[in-house]
Structure 1
Amino acid sequence: MPRRPPHEDPAPVLVTTTDALASLCERLRQEPFVTVDTEFMRERTYWPELCVVQLGGMHDTAVVDTQAEGLDLLPLGALLADESVVKVFHAARQDVEIFLLKFGAVPVPMFDTQVAAMVAGFGDQASYDSLVRALAGAAIDKAHRFSDWSARPLSPAQIAYAAADVTHLRRVYTALLDRLETENRLDWVRAEMAALDNPATYRTEPEDAWERLKPRTSNRRYLGTLRAAAAWREREAQRVNIPRQRLVRDETLLEIAASAPSDAAELARARGISDGFARGKSGVSLLAAIAEATALPEEALPEAPREKHNGPPPSPALVALLKVLLATKAEQHDVAPRLIASTEDLERLAAEPSPDVPAIHGWRRVVFGEDALALKSGRVALGVDGRKVKLIVSPG
C-alpha cells in the first residue's frame, strides 16, 4: 500500500538542467508512485509540442522546462520505463501519446484516475476539477489553463499552476486507491487500463484515416478515392507539421473523393482549395494519390464499414428496456453506465442471439451481462419497488 502524501506539499522546483533532472528522477524512482502531467501546444502543429512536464513524489514537486537549452530528457524516459514505480495520470491519453513519440514506449505501469473514478462511481469522464474538490478538498485555479506554455520565461504563476496539478493528483490517487481496494475493484481498473497500455491506441495508420470520416455510402470506388485522399492528408500534415484540418478540412476531403479530380483546375473547384494549393507541391501529390486510387481494380477497393450488427434492426423497445436495466445496475453498483456497456453493446444485445460484446465478459457480465441476457430471454422482468427499479424473476 503506498504511503500517504505528506500534509505539507513540497515547494515546486523548476528544473532546467540535465543534472537536476537526473537527480530528481533518481529520487522519484525510489517512490511507490509518481504523479505526472504535461503542458503542450498543438493548435498550430500536427505533432504536439511538449513544453512542460510536471512530476510529483512524496517529497518532490517539480516543473521540468522541456524547452530549456541543453536539457536531455533521457532520465525522464528511464523513470517512465521503471516498472517498480506507478505512473499516475488523469485522462492520460494525450500525455501518453507525447511520451510514446518522445521515448518510443508508453509509461509502465500506469494508473489513470479518470478511468478509476468511473469504476468508483464518479460518473462518466469525471473531470479533474471535480475529483480534486471531492477527494482532495481543494479547488483548481483555472487562470492559466490557456497559457502559452511555449513562451519563455515561465512565470511564477504558471509554475505554481502547473505544479498544483501533480500535487492534488497524489491525494486523488491515494483516495481512489483506498476506495477501490475496499470495494475489491482494482482488477476492474486494470482491465480498463489495457487499452491505454497498448501503443496502437495512440497511432493512426494513414491508410485507416478515412474510417474516421464515417462516409455514408457503400460505393467502393468513392471509398477508394477517400482512403487515398485521407492517407495523403495524414502523411502531408505530418510532413509539414500542421493540423490535418488546417491542411484540408474533412468536408473538403469528402467532396474531393466524390469528384475525384484529375487535374489542378478540377481540384481547385473544391471548397477550401485555392488555385495556388492545387498547382503547388501539395496539390500535385494529392492528385497523384487520387490517380493511383482511380486506377485500382475493383477487388483492391475498400469495403463499406460493416454494420454494427447483422440481420434485422433491434427492437427499440428492447433497447430501451436494456438501457433501464443498465441504469439500474450502474446505480446499484455505483459505477459509470458507459463503462459497463456502450450503446452499440445494447443494440447488439437486443438484435443478435449471441453477441460477442464486452458487456457479457469479465466483471461486466457479473454486474450487468447476466441480467441483460436473462431479461432478453424473458427469465426476468423489470418492476418498480417504491422509487427504485428492481428485477422480478419470471415464474417457471
Structure 2
Amino acid sequence: MPRQPQSEFPSPVFITETADLEALCARLRMEPFVTIDTEFIRERTYWPELCVVQLGGVGDVAVIDAQAEGIDLASLGALLADPSVVKVFHAARQDVEIFLLMFGATPVPIFDTQVAAMVAGFGDQVGYDALVSALTGAQIDKSHRFSDWSARPLSASQLAYAAADVTHLRSVYKKLLERLTQDGRIDWVEEEMAALTNPGLYQADPEAMWLRLKLRPSGRRQAGLLRAIAAWREREAQRVNIPRGRLVKDEAIPEIAALAPDSVEGLTRARGVTRGFAEGKSGLSLLAAIAAAKALPENELPELAPRERDGPRPSPALLALLRVLLAAKSEEHGVAPRLLASSDDLDRLATEDTPSVPATQGWRRRMFGEDAMALKEGRIALATRGKRIRLVQLGANDTAEDAA
C-alpha cells in the first residue's frame, strides 16, 4: 500500500518545559478536536506510570515528557476538561484512566476510534495500525511498541514513533466521522462515548473484585471469605503499588479461602505463599482480613445470585440460536458482534423473561434485542436464503415441537 507522506503533518516537537506546554495547550483549545495518546509503564506497578503524552492539532504535533523535572501538567488538564474540544483517542480506556487518576476527572468530550470502527463495520477491537492502513493507506512503524518509555533520553526514532500515533489519528477520525454521519450512526457512538467518560468505569470496588474471578462458592460463608481476600488484595496492591497478581495470584485466592487460616503457619500452607510474606506486614494484614470475615454475622455475608445457587442454566440450543441471530445481525448491519451483545447478555436473554442488559437497550435493542426476544418467545424463526440467514415471522397458528 502507498505510504502516506510524513510531510502532510507538522514536524513533532519535544516539550519538557511548563511554558511551552501552556502555549501548546492554549493553541489546541482553539481547535475543534485534538488527538491524544500516552506512553506509560505498568508491568511492575499497580498504578500506571505516565511517561509521555502525545498531542496532535492542525498546526501542532507534540510529544510531552511527563517525567521532565519541574514540568507542570495543569494546562493539559485544562485542555482535557474543555468541553469545546473533542479529545480523540484510539482504545481510550487506559489513557482515560491515567488522566482520571492525574486530574480527578475524565476528559470530555471524547471520541474513541476503536469503538467507532466497531460501529462502522471494521470488526471487533481493530488495532490502530490496521485501522490506519485501511482508512489512509499509511503503514505504522511498530519497532518501538515495547520501548521502555521511562528511560531517558528518548531517541529520535522513539519521538517519531510516538508522534505517528496522533498524526494519522487525525485522518482516521475525520474519515470515521464522515462514514458514521452518512450511515446515521453518530448517535450510536455518542452512547458508547458517554459510558467511557463515566468515572465509575475506572474505579474498581475492592468489595466486588471477587466477582471478577467467577468462582463458585459453596455457600455464603465461603463467599464472604472470597470477598474479603480479594478486597484485601486490591487494597494492598494499591498500597504497595505492585500488580495484584504479583501480590497473590488469582488461583491462590480460593485455596486461601478454603484453608481460612488463623495463623502464619496456616497461611504458609497455601501454594505460592512464602513464610516471609506470611510473617510480613502484608501477610499479617491478610490474616486480619480473614479473621474479620470469619466473624461476620450471617446477614452481612454476600447474597448468592440465583445462577450461583445452581439455578436454571441457559438451553444450549437456544444459546446457539441467539448466537446465529447475533452473527446474522452483525453481518447485516456491519457492526462487530461483541458491540451488539456480550456472552453474558446472551446467557441472560436465554434465561430471564425481561433481562435488563445492554443488548435490550438503546440502539442495540432496535438492531438485535427486539429480534432476540422475539426469537426466544417463538414469534420469529431463522431460515436460510442462499448463503444468508433471514428471519421468518410466525403467525398465531404456527407451532413448533419443543426440543427434548
The alignment's TM-score, normalised by the length of structure 2, stands at 0.93
> Do 1:309 and 1:352's aligned partners in 2 also have CA atoms closer than 8 Å?
no
For 2:172, the aligned partner's letter is: V
What's the CA shift string for 1:186-216, capped at 9, x where partnerless?
0000111222111010011222222222221
Once the two structures are TM-superposed, the CA of residue 219 in structure 1 deviates from its matched residue by: 1.8
CA distance in 2, matches of 1:112, 1:267: 45
Q: Secondary structure of the residue that 1:383 maps to in structure 2?
A: strand
Q: Secondary structure of the residue that 1:99 maps to in structure 2?
A: helix
Counterparts in 2 of 1:288 and 1:313: CA distance versus 1, 3 Å? closer
> Do 1:34 and 1:56's aligned partners in 2 also have CA atoms closer than 8 Å?
yes
> Do 1:118 and 1:336's aligned partners in 2 also have CA atoms closer than 8 Å?
yes
- Report what 2:103 is aligned to: 103
Once the two structures are TM-superposed, the CA of residue 361 in structure 1 deviates from its matched residue by: 2.2
> Do 2:222 and 2:257's aligned partners in 1 also have CA atoms closer than 8 Å?
yes
For residues 223-242 of structure 1, the aligned pairs below 5 Å read 223-242=223-242
- Report what 2:203 is aligned to: 203
For 1:385, the aligned partner's letter is: R
Once the two structures are TM-superposed, the CA of residue 103 in structure 1 deviates from its matched residue by: 0.2
What's the CA shift string for 1:285-339, capped at 9, x where partnerless?
1111111111111111112345299963333222222221221111111111111
Counterparts in 2 of 1:225 and 1:346: CA distance versus 1, 3 Å? closer
Once the two structures are TM-superposed, the CA of residue 349 in structure 1 deviates from its matched residue by: 2.4
Query: Percent of counterpart pairs with the same letter?
Result: 68
Counterparts in 2 of 1:306 and 1:40: CA distance versus 1, 3 Å? farther
For residues 263-342 of structure 1, the aligned pairs below 5 Å read 263-307=263-307, 312-342=312-342
- Report what 1:73 is aligned to: 73
CA distance in 2, matches of 1:100, 1:261: 38
For residues 17-56 of structure 1, the aligned pairs below 5 Å read 17-56=17-56
CA distance in 1, matches of 2:310, 2:185: 35
Counterparts in 2 of 1:69 and 1:313: CA distance versus 1, 3 Å? same
Q: Secondary structure of the residue that 2:307 maps to in structure 1?
A: coil
The alignment's TM-score, normalised by the length of structure 1, stands at 0.95
For residues 1-396 of structure 1, the aligned pairs below 5 Å read 8-307=8-307, 312-395=312-395
For 1:376, the aligned partner's letter is: K
> Do 1:218 and 1:303's aligned partners in 2 also have CA atoms closer than 8 Å?
no
Once the two structures are TM-superposed, the CA of residue 106 in structure 1 deviates from its matched residue by: 0.1
Once the two structures are TM-superposed, the CA of residue 142 in structure 1 deviates from its matched residue by: 0.8
CA distance in 1, matches of 2:395, 2:321: 19
**Which deviates more, 214-223 or 46-55?**
214-223
Q: Secondary structure of the residue that 2:251 maps to in structure 1?
A: helix
CA RMSD of aligned residues (A): 1.8
> Do 1:309 and 1:351's aligned partners in 2 also have CA atoms closer than 8 Å?
no
Counterparts in 2 of 1:374 and 1:207: CA distance versus 1, 3 Å? closer
CA distance in 1, matches of 2:27, 2:140: 27
What's the CA shift string for 1:207-236, capped at 9, x where partnerless?
222222222124222221222222221121
Counterparts in 2 of 1:187 and 1:309: CA distance versus 1, 3 Å? farther
How many aligned positions are there?
391
Once the two structures are TM-superposed, the CA of residue 382 in structure 1 deviates from its matched residue by: 1.8
What's the CA shift string for 1:53-84, capped at 9, x where partnerless?
00001111000000111100000000000000
**Which deviates more, 271-280 or 152-161?**
271-280
Q: Secondary structure of the residue that 1:355 maps to in structure 2?
A: coil
For 1:323, the aligned partner's letter is: R
Once the two structures are TM-superposed, the CA of residue 169 in structure 1 deviates from its matched residue by: 0.8
CA distance in 2, matches of 1:392, 1:386: 15
> Do 2:226 and 2:253's aligned partners in 1 also have CA atoms closer than 8 Å?
yes
CA distance in 1, matches of 2:295, 2:211: 21
For 1:209, the aligned partner's letter is: M
> Do 2:47 and 2:238's aligned partners in 1 also have CA atoms closer than 8 Å?
yes
**Which deviates more, 29-38 or 209-218?**
209-218
Q: Where does structure 2 lack aligned partners over 5 or more consecutive residues?
A: 1-5, 397-404
Q: Secondary structure of the residue that 2:50 maps to in structure 1?
A: strand
Once the two structures are TM-superposed, the CA of residue 253 in structure 1 deviates from its matched residue by: 2.2
> Do 1:308 and 1:348's aligned partners in 2 also have CA atoms closer than 8 Å?
no
CA distance in 2, matches of 1:307, 1:151: 49
What's the CA shift string for 1:324-372, capped at 9, x where partnerless?
1221111111111111122222233233333233222221222122222
Once the two structures are TM-superposed, the CA of residue 18 in structure 1 deviates from its matched residue by: 0.2
CA distance in 2, matches of 1:147, 1:76: 24
**Which deviates more, 354-363 or 186-195?**
354-363
Once the two structures are TM-superposed, the CA of residue 252 in structure 1 deviates from its matched residue by: 1.7
CA distance in 1, matches of 2:346, 2:244: 34
**Which deviates more, 90-99 or 266-275?**
266-275
Q: Secondary structure of the residue that 1:367 maps to in structure 2?
A: helix
Counterparts in 2 of 1:348 and 1:274: CA distance versus 1, 3 Å? closer
- Report what 1:3 is aligned to: none
Q: Secondary structure of the residue that 2:208 maps to in structure 1?
A: helix
> Do 1:309 and 1:348's aligned partners in 2 also have CA atoms closer than 8 Å?
no
> Do 2:13 and 2:62's aligned partners in 1 also have CA atoms closer than 8 Å?
yes
Q: Secondary structure of the residue that 1:364 maps to in structure 2?
A: helix
> Do 1:188 and 1:363's aligned partners in 2 also have CA atoms closer than 8 Å?
yes
> Do 2:141 and 2:161's aligned partners in 1 also have CA atoms closer than 8 Å?
yes
What's the CA shift string for 1:153-200, capped at 9, x where partnerless?
111011000000011111111110000000110000011122211101
